[in-house]
Amino acid sequence: MLDSQVRGAHVYRSQDGARVVREWCEREIAACPEVTALPSLETELGTTRAFRAPGGNGDPVVVLSGTNFNTATSIELIRALAADRPVISVDLPGQPGLSCDVRPRGARVKAYGAWLDEVLPLLTDRPAIVLGHSLGAMVALAASPSPLVGALVLVSPAGLTAAGTTPELLRAALPWMIGPRDSKSTRLLNAMSGRAHVAEGVHPLAPWMTLVGRYCRTSLAPAPLPMECLRPWRKTPITVATGSEDTLFSPARLHGPAYRLLGAEVHVMEGLGHLGPLEDPAPAAALLRELD
């Protein structure tokens, strides 16, 4: 049951839109038989859906996706990580996907942190690596350190500094918001990717982003987290990484805040953009391998 204190706006513009988006997610997950649904979790932010892929003998990893992405859009990343370890991918409430479609209102950071504190013991009984990408990294940092968090891996993390932008990204985002179709979605995805991962034809994720633009109310990049959220994490092993061509959270933008706030150096993933773990999952898998 969603608590009235955190009830906010629906992510979907209509019930029909919600059905179309959810059916797309269900088809993508069903096409990957090694990814199986865990029982639905009832939380203070509503129903939460999580999915598991069996893997190697490394520590398990809990994956939290970025804005507008989820388990269904992260299948290749899940497969890459599962070569080394069990993977649990969680759809964030209030984002397009299979969890509750109501966004937390007001103190969104506090609500997401409390949500992760609530769901993590329901997902694992042993210390796990929490891998957060963009918004997912902010959610991880908003939670409280616990024995179940063996390490944090924060990729292109929101929450440490304000997001940057470029004229190219703005020129791609505005037409997509006004009249989403696959060609405009491709242009937007390309603007968020490294040059080596720009699609010449239709981007593989363009159909998804077209659905997001057509049927969803997208959210803005979150503001930097307050120091009281970040200070407790300094005793936890933390890896911060970003793409060398990430226009939102560039290495130059992250180096100072990551070291000052978390005591962490920034690993630069060469040739990747803001969608790094989706462009090429191998560097993210390598970062986790270093923690075993």
Residue type, 244: S
- Give the model's pLDDT for residue 93: 97
| Mean pLDDT in order along the chain per 10 residues (292 residues) | 56 97 98 97 97 95 97 98 98 97 86 97 97 97 97 98 95 96 98 95 97 92 89 96 98 97 97 98 97 90
Distance CA 270, CA 232 (A): 30
- Residue indicated by tokens 């939102």: 248
- Give the model's pLDDT for residue 248: 97
What is the SS3 assignment for 172? helix
Mention every residue, 6+ apart, whose C-beta is less than 8 A from residue 248.
134, 156, 163, 164, 165, 169, 192, 221, 274
- Give the model's pLDDT for residue 87: 98
- Give the model's pLDDT for residue 218: 86
Give whole-number Cα distances, 61 to 6, 88, 117, in Å: 28, 6, 15
- Give the model's pLDDT for residue 179: 96
- Give the model's pLDDT for residue 230: 95
Strands 61-64 and 128-133: parallel
Residue 243, Cβ density class (10 Å: 0-12 exposed, 13-18 middle, ≥19 buried): buried
CA atoms within 13 A on the CB side of 190: 18
Distance CA 161, CA 152 (A): 17
